[in-house]
Chains A and B, each alone.
Chain A
């Protein structure tokens, strides 16, 4: 029941989407307010070097960071009916869409591409929280369907990276119907015997969580990501008590059994490559699986920021 669509932090969007960046630019972390040299932020995958805050990414940046060598082919998505209800709140939906398109240079809040991750051919669908809160209307629903079909055609695993405030209210019940639509898409992938991996990014809430985002063969979450169904404010108003610490954060969901693995952004690609190679019974590709920047240490002794938090107790054999 989280239908937030327009609470994107403008500062953050400006930070992440800025096209040409002067050499000497400093950015401020929205979490700890420390200044970060822009170049450093970029090489650090938009993770704050001071507090490890994982900043939100545009769909395009997501794809670039995930695919081997930043190489991928985006596919054209079917055009969705624009503003089917002629919806108007304080602003016309048509205008909101136009503005979001102009700002992002994207048609809607989803991008679908294929390429390789750790040498394994995959299809990736990434949602863009910067585009109307990553909200799911016809376009996002159709994007997920298209991604699923592409995965089935290519016999490739499907990786979906939701980052969404939920349903796009401006499309009324049409947006609600994207829940069953995307679930059918997931069924098609699973029935083809292909892995379906969900990478939960900050934030994933509402109708997106309650449909394709919670049906993965595996749920991998970026550290600190907010993941839930109802919005924290709605819950607070309902239960009239303060929420537990870390509520709806990736680590909290791991503890409650809703996600399998919590990773840092730096460890994400390797984690994906590893689980896919295991599921598909492929040989690991050592070069690509080597964690960048850090020495490989025996299991259990890796530095915490680069260690995938696997949902097994530390003393479990093989954990």
Chain B
């Protein structure tokens, strides 16, 4: 583990101790082995305690954790013959949204998602997962391609939001997002969306209008970042944690409000502790949903998808 969050410090200390003891221990040193095992139990207990009751703000931090698996990690592990496409045929190729064709567990499919990047260089190249209009137009192209060839679409959402810049505005950021939503709600093939990290507002919903929308256990999905909300409604950055709570942005909140269909459990201690296990679980969930959806009539799928979004929020009672 390279990065620890503030509230993970006690866990980090325990793990540090375990590492030290392991270095000390020789072959057959039962005392040390025993001590290590005890510390491991303690670590696991602490992890369980911590992750069972993460506050919304802690979830925000976990959702943004740099070691959390990103779009490229899922594609590398789940998609065979991945063939990326580039560009919006108008202006540029936006690397904040990636996508292409590939084979997911035997199914030819289209996969789209935001990529935040794994290190500083990559983060800059992918613009921290904040797409410009070109990204949404590329996503649209891909959804239309899928529709034309009856391929299911998988979208993995992980973005702080659409990029706020002069060029993005001039080239129609709002129009690009609106059309992307329009296309996602219009295609006659299965659309499976998963919020894998941060579901940041309009930039997220643009590709998250799925027949089934899932969220990883510690991912978040919000109309505004807690920081932005605090600065507008409280006029104070210090109220960020309070805003995170008020916004009801956790996967559990969204499920409770009936805005998503399913929460996918993460391994103990969060997706960043065990990316392989996380990716495998997400793959299994996608496969089961895809099997269910792919046999359905395209027109019916589309009608149900649209009805689902039309009905959203109607049953919510405070």
Nearest CB in chain A to that of B309: its residue: A180
Nearest CB in chain A to that of B209: its residue: A180
Q: For the side of the interface on A, what is the size category? A: 35 or more
Q: What separation, in Å, do the CA atoms of A91 and B186 have in the docked complex?
A: 40
Nearest CB in chain B to that of A238: its residue: B164
| Residue A3 interfacial (CB < 8 Å) | yes
B246 touches A85 (CB 8 A): yes
Contacts of B184 in A (CB 8 A): 180
Nearest CB in chain B to that of A145: its residue: B310
Q: What separation, in Å, do the CA atoms of A214 and B136 have in the docked complex?
A: 14
Give which listed residue, A6, A171, A213, contacts B174 with CB less than 8 A.
A213
Q: For the side of the interface on B, what is the size category? A: 35 or more
| Residue B247 interfacial (CB < 8 Å) | yes
A174 touches B259 (CB 8 A): yes
| Residue B313 interfacial (CB < 8 Å) | yes
| Residue A86 interfacial (CB < 8 Å) | yes
State the Cβ distance, B166 to closest chain A Cβ, in Å.
6
* Contacts A84-B316, A214-B172; A169 near B247 (Cβ below 8 A): yes
| Residue A258 interfacial (CB < 8 Å) | yes
A165-181: contact bitstring with B at CB < 8 Å (1 yes, 0 no)? Answer: 00101111111110111
State the Cβ distance, B271 to closest chain A Cβ, in Å.
21
Q: What separation, in Å, do the CA atoms of A209 and B172 have in the docked complex?
A: 10
Nearest CB in chain A to that of B208: its residue: A180
The SS class assigned to the B binding surface is helix
| Residue B202 interfacial (CB < 8 Å) | yes
| Residue A298 interfacial (CB < 8 Å) | no
B185 touches A1 (CB 8 A): no
B 129-183 contacts with A by CB, 8 A:
161-166, 168-175, 177-179, 181-182
Give which listed residue, B163, B223, B316, contacts A169 with CB less than 8 A.
B223
A173 touches B221 (CB 8 A): yes
State the Cβ distance, A185 to closest chain B Cβ, in Å.
8
Q: What separation, in Å, do the CA atoms of A80 and B203 have in the docked complex?
A: 25
A257 touches B172 (CB 8 A): yes
B182-202: contact bitstring with A at CB < 8 Å (1 yes, 0 no)? Answer: 101110000000000000011
Q: What separation, in Å, do the CA atoms of A302 and B317 have in the docked complex?
A: 55
| Residue B222 interfacial (CB < 8 Å) | yes
* Contacts A172-B249, A257-B172; A179 near B202 (Cβ below 8 A): yes
A 1-39 contacts with B by CB, 8 A:
1, 3-6
Q: What separation, in Å, do the CA atoms of A23 and B170 have in the docked complex?
A: 45
Contacts of A256 in B (CB 8 A): 170-172
B173 touches A177 (CB 8 A): no
Contacts of B313 in A (CB 8 A): 80-81, 84, 138, 141, 174, 177, 181
14 A-B pairs within 8 Å (CB atoms) are namely A1-B161, A1-B201, A4-B232, A81-B317, A167-B223, A179-B202, A180-B181, A183-B178, A183-B185, A184-B185, A207-B202, A213-B178, A228-B173, A235-B165
Residues of B within 8 A of A (CB): 161-166, 168-175, 177-179, 181-182, 184-186, 201-203, 205-206, 209, 221-224, 228-229, 232-235, 239, 243, 246-249, 253-254, 257, 259, 306, 309-310, 312-314, 316-318
Residues of A within 8 A of B (CB): 1, 3-6, 80-90, 138, 141, 145, 167, 169-177, 179-181, 183-187, 206-207, 209-215, 228-231, 234-235, 238-239, 241, 243-244, 247-248, 256-258
